[in-house]
C-alpha cells in the first residue's frame, strides 16, 4: 500500500539529487526538459492532495532552471513550502548542495 511519507522521502531524494547533478550551464534543451519534468509532477504524483498543492506552488513559485545553483535553491524553497504546510522544520537552503551534492562537512 502507498505510504505518503515514504513516497515523499524517496521523491524528495530523487528531486534533490536531480537538482544536485543538473548542469552549471544548461543548454536550452536541458532547461526545457527540466521545466517539463517539474510541471508533469503534479499530473502524475500518486498523492492527490500533494499533487494539488504542488501545482499551486508552481504557479506562484515557477521553477528556476537557469543553473545548478539556482535550480537546487528553488527545489529547496519549494520543499520548505511543503515543510511549512506540514509544520516541519525549515531547511537552511544555503546548505542544500552540502546536503545533496557534496556531503556534509562533518
Residues that bind ligand FAD (CB under 6 A): 4-5, 8-9, 11-12, 16, 49-50, 53-54, 76, 79-80, 82-83, 86, 88, 91, 96, 99
Min dist CB 104 to ligand FAD, Å, is: 10
Query: In terms of CB distance, is 2 or 28 closer to ligand FAD?
Result: 2
Kindly give, in sequence order, each residue whose CB lies less than 8 Å from that of residue 105, ignoring residues fewer than 6 positions away.
Answer: 98
Min dist CB 36 to ligand FAD, Å, is: 16
Min dist CB 71 to ligand FAD, Å, is: 12
Residue 74 grid coordinates: 528553488
Query: In terms of CB distance, is 29 or 87 closer to ligand FAD?
Result: 87
Query: In terms of CB distance, is 22 or 29 closer to ligand FAD?
Result: 22
Buried b / exposed e along 59-84 (16+ C-beta atoms within 10 A) = eeeebebeebeebbbbbbbbbbbeee
Q: What share of the chain is helix, strand, coil (3-state, %, to 5)?
A: 70, 0, 30
- Residue of closest CB approach to ligand FAD: 8
Nearest to 22 by CA among 59, 58, 73: 73
Amino acid at each position: 500500500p502507498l505510504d505518503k511519507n515514504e513516497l515523499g522521502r524517496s521523491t524528495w531524494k530523487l528531486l534533490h539529487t536531480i537538482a544536485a547533478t543538473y548542469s552549471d550551464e544548461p543548454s536550452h534543451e536541458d532547461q526545457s526538459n527540466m521545466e517539463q519534468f517539474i510541471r508533469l509532477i503534479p499530473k502524475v504524483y500518486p498523492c492527490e492532495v500533494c499533487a494539488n498543492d504542488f501545482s499551486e506552488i508552481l504557479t506562484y513559485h515557477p521553477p528556476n532552471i537557469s543553473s545548478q545553483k539556482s535550480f537546487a535553491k528553488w527545489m529547496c524553497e519549494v520543499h520548505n513550502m511543503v515543510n511549512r504546510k506540514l509544520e516541519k522544520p525549515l531547511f537552511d537552503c544555503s546548505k542544500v548542495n552540502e546536503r545533496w551534492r557534496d556531503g556534509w562537512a562533518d
